[in-house]
């Protein structure tokens, strides 16, 4: 098994003498809102062979961190899902081609992910694609510097921020050339902070899980607080793992996981031009390659990835622009997963439901109304509905067998709706399948934040 200290030594050797040119910044959780600090990890367990870093290179005019790098000391198997917005950004177009080329060549190619925040490089025409290519070239040069030999074609790029503006490539190129990477927690946190735009806290998660007879590690960074609505990925995010897995099974596992995580969240119903979620696996955990889609090892990996990504996606909802509540909508008893998810999504995207939660109004009729217009055939006499508080205390049953449970205990409803976490559970009574959606309330602050975004 490889030592996790090796990437730090290699990265420090590669950048010795550049320290005084680096844009250092604080990673102290206390700089972020008090109510969000509990979601910011103070330590982590990171995948072998990976390192990370973040800095300010000048994309953002306010001097905040705006450049992040994730690096693997060996080629990785890479998979990604992207926005279906037809005005997809140049980085999306570029990354699709990189991953498709790797699939067709049946080769591990990706070594680095370069992310800038503050400028989306979207709706920027031919120049935008040229800039994405140039940004990837700077990543390849970084890999070559760390390796001590030339490496090409191994960088994914992601951009987030204002649409319709060109990237300041001279600043990004210089920033990548001067950035410091390492495998310690603080360096991963620097990368997470550099992803932020309207986010109020950095979104970083790491975990060690058992797969078969061995241990593998996962680390994920994501960003997003607005323009969040599912349809093949939502926002930006990268999961790094030291698991060894075939290209096909990584593709399959990611598709399964995204449907139950990043494609199961909604904040405002808007789908970004830049949405990208990638998973890169370098195999440094030194177990054999997972190649059998029916094996216990694959099932364990898929479950671990799904749970990990659901928690990571949940951080985005918790940071929804202007949000005060984290709402889980669980629909059970459906004939199919697709039916359950359709009903859950209809509830989660209802502006009337979301505003009722913000106002702490137990207007359960809005929820039942959304179930009814979801388009899924129902037997209304079988529908049950309840609200569960985040503290684990007893739920409030609102509908049973299609009948409202009157009179509603308004005091209990008020107690539940004052909590930050609330689960709405709807049982359809039609079959064995279930699904979840994660959303937040809709507040006055959401309008204020987005009315002033470019300023």
Annotated catalytic residues are: 234
CA distances (Å), origin 32, targets 289, 306, 330: 41, 28, 31
| Six-digit token string for 318 | 């918790």
Give the residues across from 238 on adjacent strands.
Answer: 221, 278
Strands 384-389, 421-427: pairing kind: antiparallel
81 close to 233: Cβ distance less than 8 angstroms? yes
| Six-digit token string for 149 | 């030999």
> Residue 76: helix, strand or coil by DSSP?
strand
> Residue 286: helix, strand or coil by DSSP?
coil
Strands 276-281, 236-241: pairing kind: parallel
Burial 139-160 (b: 16+ CB within 10 A, else e): bbbbbbbbeeeebeebbbbbbb
181 close to 145: Cβ distance less than 8 angstroms? no
Strand ranges for 234-357 from DSSP E: 236-241, 265-266, 276-281, 326-334
Phi-psi region of 13 (alpha: psi -120 to 50; beta: other; left: phi over 0): alpha
> Residues 148, 152, 156, CA angle at the centre, nearest 5°?
110
Give the residues across from 157 on adjacent strands.
Answer: 114
CA distances (Å), origin 105, targets 79, 98, 247: 14, 11, 11
Give the residues across from 331 on adjacent strands.
Answer: 426, 435
| Six-digit token string for 301 | 């990996």
Backbone phi, psi, residue 144, to 5°: -60, -40
Order the strands of the 396-400 sheet from edge to edge.
Answer: 265-266, 433-440, 326-334, 421-427, 384-389, 396-400, 403-404
Whether omega before 407 lies within 30 degrees of 0, making that bond cis, reads yes
d(CA 90, CA 156): 12
d(CA 337, CA 126): 41
Strands 50-55, 67-82: pairing kind: antiparallel
452 close to 339: Cβ distance less than 8 angstroms? no
């Amino acid at each position: 098994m490889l030592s996790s200290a090796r990437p730090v030594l290699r990265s420090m050797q590669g950048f010795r003498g550049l320290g005084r040119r680096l844009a250092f910044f604080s990673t102290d959780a206390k700089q972020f809102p008090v109510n969000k600090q509990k979601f910011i990890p103070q330590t982590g367990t990171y995948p072998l062979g990976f390192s990370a870093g973040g800095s300010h290179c000048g994309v953002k005019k306010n001097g905040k961190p705006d450049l992040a790098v994730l690096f693997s000391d060996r080629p990785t198997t890479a998979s990604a899902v992207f926005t279906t917005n037809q005005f997809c950004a140049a980085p999306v177009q570029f990354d699709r081609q990189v991953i498709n080329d790797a699939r067709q060549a049946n080769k591990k190619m990706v070594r680095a992910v370069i992310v800038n925040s503050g400028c989306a490089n979207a709706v920027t025409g031919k120049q935008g694609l040229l800039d994405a290519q140039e940004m990837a070239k700077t990543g390849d040069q970084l890999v070559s510097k760390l390796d001590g030999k030339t490496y090409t074609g191994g960088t994914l790029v992601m951009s987030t921020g204002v649409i319709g503006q060109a990237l300041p490539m001279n600043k990004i190129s210089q920033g990548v050339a001067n950035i410091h990477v390492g495998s310690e927690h603080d360096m991963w946190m620097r990368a997470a902070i550099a992803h932020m735009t309207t986010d109020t806290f950095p979104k970083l998660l790491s975990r060690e899980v058992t797969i078969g007879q061995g241990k593998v590690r996962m680390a994920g960074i994501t960003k997003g607080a607005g323009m969040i609505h599912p349809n093949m990925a939502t926002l930006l995010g990268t999961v790094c793992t030291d698991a060894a897995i075939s290209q096909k099974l990584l593709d399959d596992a990611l598709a399964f996981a995204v449907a139950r995580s990043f494609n199961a969240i909604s904040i405002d119903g808007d789908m970004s031009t830049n949405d990208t979620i990638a998973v890169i696996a370098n195999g440094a955990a030194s177990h054999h390659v997972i190649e059998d889609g029916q094996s216990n090892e694959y099932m364990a990996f898929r479950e671990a990835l799904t749970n990990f990504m659901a928690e990571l996606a949940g951080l985005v909802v918790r940071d929804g622009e202007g949000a005060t509540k984290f709402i889980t909508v669980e629909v059970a008893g459906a004939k199919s997963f697709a039916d359950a998810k359709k009903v859950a999504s209809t509830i989660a995207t209802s502006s009337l439901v979301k505003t009722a939660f913000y106002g702490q109004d137990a207007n359960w009729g809005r929820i039942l109304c959304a179930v009814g217009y979801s388009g899924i055939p129902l037997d209304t006499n079988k529908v049950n509905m309840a609200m569960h508080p985040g503290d684990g205390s007893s739920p409030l049953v609102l509908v049973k067998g299609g009948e409202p449970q009157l009179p509603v205990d308004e005091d209990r409803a008020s107690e539940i709706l004052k909590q930050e976490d609330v689960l709405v559970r709807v049982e359809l009574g039609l079959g064995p399948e279930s699904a979840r959606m994660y959303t937040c309330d809709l507040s006055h602050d959401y309008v204020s934040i987005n009315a002033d975004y470019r300023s």
